A and B are shown apart, each in its own frame.
Chain A
Amino acid sequence: MIMAEYLIPYISPWLAYLLVGLVQCGLLLTVVLLVAAVCNWLERKVSARIQDRLGPTRTGGRFGWLQSPADGIKLLTKEDLVPAAADRRLFLIAPYVSFAISLAVYLAIPWAGGNAFSADPQKAHDWTCVRLDAAVFFIMAVSGLEVFGVILGGYASGSKWSLYGAMREAAQVISYEIPLGLCVVIPVLIAGTMDLVQMGNQQSGWFWNWYLLHDPFTFATFWIYITCAVAHTNRAPFDLPEAESELVAGFLTEYSGFRWTIFFMAEYGAMFAISALAAILFLGGWNGPIPVAQILGLTWEHGAIAGYAGDVLGFCNLFAKASAGVIFMMWLRWTLPRLRIDQVMTTCLKYCLPLASIMLAGVLAWNFTLPGRMFFGISPGSPPRMEKQAETMDESSSEGVAVSLSRDPQERIANWQFQIANCKLND
């Protein structure tokens, strides 16, 4: 939107805003499509490596890197079939629903932190489409919606296999949303905010500031999160909705050509998004294991150019982490056998859910007994979070009313009162 204001002197305002909006949409779309294309190629390569094969080697040189475009062209030229028994309107629209929702998740994901402790959110320069107050919550809500397209597609196909697949998908995704939500709540609890930008910035510094290494419970939570995330995105070993050996191809049975591709892009988009979320929540987001940017002075304190350079670095970091997450999921897919549906539900309700609850309680207890300790409670060096927060509060910048967890009730009340006074100062 800032860009639009530069354009306004030259063209009429509404056109400027429209243009900039379209450009931004296009950028986002490109990212997702590229991710999907690369993932498709990667999947072939990874699976080949695991199965001791070479994978695609012919199309476009030695690594077969033109395989995805070639596949895309093949799929685009296929006939777009609609079964006679299908509910035509829903059948046609379902892939787009799925894809649009998977795209919408990207609205709230920050790609780099920008000016970490800026007083004014307008000047934070974080790399987010829409910086939301409740970004974590938003992403959870929207990523849960993705199943909607699948159910529609499964129902509308008018085929038993598709319907079975869709029903399985619904049951699975709605069930796994609960432990996944519990896992997400844990970093939120530690950070005291649901704003992803703030959460990422609180993990800046060395790798022991990552929430993954905050305490033993968060470490365990991360693995539960990964399990649930895999199930949530319907990847093997939880790919029951499209189990080839049982349901032909599940909800995808009746789809072909372009619409099938769209479904696939939605799946890869969701995988990438949920990996990026994991990276931000547990793996420090755009902060590398070693704070190279800070050491080189590439921060916003040293001017805008340095800040942007640091942000580019951070973006690469986050992208690498998210990609690692995707590759990890592929690795899982090609090594583990598929579960039975009852096993899937058992994993969710009998293992993941209780474990996540225990982790929640554990993190609570840990924070009450050992508040502010990093790196398994050992705390090498002072935690930057507290320091910075105190600073900003002195500047009366008001980083919001963060709920801080403290052992002593007296201290907690004092903390509140401090923050309240802070609020008053602002007004």
Chain B
Amino acid sequence: MDTLPLLLGTAWLLPLASFALILLFGSRMGKAGRGAGFVATAAIVAAFVLSATALTVWLSAHPIEAPAGHSSATADSAEHGAAAKENHAADTHASAGETTAAKKIIPPVAGDWYELGAFGTKRITIGYYIDALTIAMFFMVTMVASCIHIYSFGYMHEELSEVTDHQVTLASGQHLHRRGRFHRFYQYLSLFCFSMLGLVIAGNIAMVFVFWELVGICSYFLIGFYIERKSASNAANKAFIVNRVGDFGMIIGLMAVWTGMGTFSFGDYEMKDAQGRETMRPGIFSQARPAGNDFQLQAPDGMVKFAKRDEIAEIVQKSENAADAELQIEKRIDGWRKDGFGYGWLIVAGLGIFCGCVGKSAQFPLHVWLPDAMEGPTPVSALIHAATMVAAGVYLVGRFYPVFTPEVLMVIAYIGCITLFIAATMALVATDIKRVLAFSTVSQLGYMMLALGFGGWLAGIFHLFTHAFFKALLFLCSGSVIHATHTNEMPRMGGLLKKMPYTGITMLIGCLAIAGAGIPWIIGLSGYYSKDFIIAQGLVYQHANPLHGWLFYFSVAGAGMTSFYMFRLWYMTFLGTPRDKHVYDHAHESTPSMLVPLVILAVMSVISGWKVPFTNLELPALLTQAIPSGTEEGAVSNLTKFYIPAEHLSHESGVHFFATGIAFLMALLGFVLATAFYGTKRLDPNDARRTFATLYRIFIHKWYFDEAYQKIFVRPALAISGWIAWLDKNGLDWIADNSARLMGLCARLDDWFDRKFVDRLIDLVAAGTYRLGIRLKALQTGSLRQYVMLLAVGLAALFMIMNFYWNFAMSKM
């Protein structure tokens, strides 16, 4: 299997070559650097071809077997047949936990290209780690990137000539004139593709970190592409700084891994020991989940030893020689591990790595940078801030999944849930078309995190893929609209379907896909499948942990909101009467170079959940090959007593049936509401806005996160410096002056207190009682329907309480 590293390695380095070429000769390539686009596009298309070849190679080496008994309806009904019986038997065998013989573990292709340095037994290398996930990511990233490269020819054509930026006004009162930057745009795109592919192929966590930062800097460059605009440079700074916060956590995680495991490598690797013999040394995954322990999670030796370092020092002091001490430590290490030493470090490592993912994937509380990142050109938003880079956080969680303890997964689930909910609420009210999509991206990323936290590795990663396709599609469509109308504001659009039919219809497909449309239980667009996986996993999780059932309900609510805001967007943009005559007259359908990628992506977002006819080939089945060993059976947290359910439980027909039903019901509700408000105009949005005035205010201000960060972090920094200056000027003088004044004040205060306070206390009690009565009076509104609603709310609350706590008590018994 040396072909795979060769193929993927080439695919990875091609964009680097393109970057280098454009960097050196970019401005001289064709007229105004037009050739740069061709170079970059050729590189990424070649990379795509290589990735596709790699996928074929992989599939021919590891063909996908027929789905196991409970995973699909067809197999379920075929259980009568004799052929299915064998299959079923094999399946039950595997799920019984006998991982050694019956279950086929597909070993990843791991190895090193180059050694950067070795420090005793430890070393840092440039390596690769290729499994089904890597291959699929390569395929997806290069495909989306190819589409976006082609699309950018149309979108960025203004940059080929002299540009007048109307959004920048110089001190002279004129708009800015500058040279076009077509080649520079492609130069950054190439760099980004190189970094992203490197991040995916990386064989060790240190390499991941390096490319992690590289994609970060690409993001910074591209957000600030229109650097002369104040808002763009601010947004770029914000993205960069907020990401540093996450990276800080990631560095802590890296230190914990380095200290505890002594290596950064994911897979096992060969190394010369002191005697010069080649020995296999365990990588991160083998240390966290050794085959000897049935692939179950345990604290690695290094972490246990680190946690007990005082005692080890004592042992070493007491024993005569080193070998003896070693022996003694070996003897006691299992006991320590059983007592839970070292487990805490595992949590620290997991949380640290996840911190990085929070920053990159724009999860709560570091989600604030992504909406502002929409200052960049739209293809960039599609590629970097929707399809690939922000999904890298999810990818890393998926890659590092074997090392995460159940407690860390719970944190992930909670963060994901909060993110998905607040982002969805913001998307409900936003009017900037790209911002709606940005909030939607944050929300969907939260979904993926939530799924991973639920124990649904496959669900989360599958959604990552389908989301990449349809979100890239949606962004490109919005780019097409913006390109045609020169505005981002949806209230100024409307009725564009007639002018831009291709864009409108492909965007409708994207909306349907993200809303999870389909014919329930029969067939659907890609989002229908991946969302079902997540909801089903949530249902199982809720049954296993009634106490954390809130997560499930929020995810269901999120599904409804997704459908609502997406269709709201579509209706406001494409249907209805044109609200701005000027914009409408100006609008036109985009050039073919922009439409072709739209069609390709639309097709992908329809079919990427389907099975290739006459074969067993489907995306989830491919990804199933990459599920980390030992995580399939779920886990139990020893610290807080909750369960991560096994993922195959969620594929049982009963659970899946109801999950599909719930997901479809919520999507339908969102669609119906959106239609009622924006499609048929039966209901008035202003009416709803008045009814929920407080909520609307919170949503439109993005839950006041920016304001809060401004108040908590930025202002204090400024204020503290201000204070010190002020103290310097007037400090001591002021004390002397005012101590005298204070005495007078005290006397007056006493007088005031006597009159105002003591006297009025009694008055206040009376007035308070009176006011309380007036307030309570309003409760009896006499509105029958309101009473009914309160009744329903009470009922829902009662059910929830029963559901969570009664079951919880039952489970304790």
**A contacting B, Cβ–Cβ less than 8 Å:** no
